Amino acid sequence: MLHNTLSMLRHSMKGLAEGCCPDASGLITFGASTIDDALGGGLARGRLHDIYADTTAHIGAATGFAAALALRAAKGKSLLWVWQEFLENETGRLNASGLAELGLDPGRIILVRARDAEGVLRAGEQAARCAALGAVVVEPWGEPKMLDFTASRRLSLAATKSGTSILMLRVAASPAQSAAATRWRVQALPSRALAANAPGFPAFELNLLRHRGGIAGHVWRVEWDRDRKCFQDRQRTDAAPVSRPVVSVSRDGSAAAGVRPYEFRKAG
């Protein structure tokens, strides 16, 4: 199965890679001035960045943050999301309509499903070598032994060489040593209702656990503006929060009511 998955992945990326060359220049900006200023303008592009859910209850928030950051990193290019098959049993499938609510075009997302952590890492590393991709999200389950510092180092080198950023989304795992340029812990915050009690922006608490520049330890509260496709600093307000913490990026495959269905590009 792993061989078939990688073969289809190569086929999916073949057309993207033709005529492209690595471009690791620039930064991944958040759009929120407090974060970008603290980071010296943003995150290094073409690097590995770790994202952890604070607890299993915040997996949806971590997924939403990874999706939004991948959109910022992609700069209009397609992005690839590879996840471990076991995740579907535990958290459900990624939902195209939910991601569209965050501002992503599901037609520009290539999905790869691998049976085990080995397949996830191999597919992620191969995808990261494709400079035509704007970002790669790698999502294994738990704490597989093979995901050690050496494995993360290989991913980091692949990202540096191609200029394609990798976001390692860690589910059911504790922060561990890796070659990542930054490490984040994400928690959901209650959204604040907009005018006429409309659903508010997705809200996150971001804890920067590690940064190669030595500025770890910062905590930010931000919201995601899907129309502007950027994060914004969360301002203090007396407005009442809505019932759910973030906009739905449900993984159960169900489409939101009133939203037209979307389709992913699949590989594997």
Q: Among the listed ranges 27-41, 123-137, 153-167, 244-258, which one has the minimum average pLDDT value? A: 244-258
Q: 10 Å Cβ neighbour count for 174?
A: 8
* Helix %, strand %, coil % of the chain (to 5): 30, 25, 40
What DSSP string describes 30-90?
A: -S-HHHHHHTTTSEESSSEEEEEESSGGGHHHHHHHHHHHHHHHHTTS-EEEEEETHHHHH
The pTM of this model reads 0.83
> For the segment 154-208, what is each residue's pLDDT rounded down to a tens digit?
999 999 999 999 999 999 999 999 999 999 999 999 988 877 777 789 999 999 9
Distances (CA, A) of 94 to 53, 60, 99, 104, 140: 16, 10, 8, 12, 14
Cβ pair 14, 130 in contact under 8 A: no
Give the mean pLDDT of 68-82: 96
261, pLDDT greater than 60: no
CATH number of this structure's domain 2-15+24-266, picked from the four choices 3.40.50.300, 3.50.50.60, 3.30.420.40, 3.40.50.80: 3.40.50.300
Give the mean pLDDT of 66-94: 93
In whole angstroms, give the CA distance from residue 182 to residue 49: 5
> For the segment 118-136, what is each residue's pLDDT rounded down to a tens digit?
999 999 999 999 999 999 9
**pLDDT on residue 192:** 85
**pLDDT on residue 21:** 38
Bigger pLDDT: 84 or 266? 84
Q: Which amino acid is at 168?
A: M
**pLDDT on residue 220:** 97
